Amino acid sequence: MADVMLDCKGLVCPLPIAKVQKQAREMQTGKTLEVVADCASFAQDIKDWCAKTNHPLISINSVGAVTKAVLKF
């Protein structure tokens, strides 16, 4: 289980990534963040954001329209 959970279901691009960016400012080193979103572009957006910010993407999986991503800070 992640240290912090962020529910972005019902939000469309770019709001899920904006919320991740805001939460990232409050994350402590070594902690994990789980993000759940149902935006169609979220899976690719979170991969791109992690690559851009150098935060490891621990896991990502989709079930139906919902994608869950776990990041490490």
Catalytic residues: 13
CB 31 within 8 A of CB 41: no
How many angstroms separate the Cα of 35 from the Cα of each of 10, 38? Answer: 13, 10
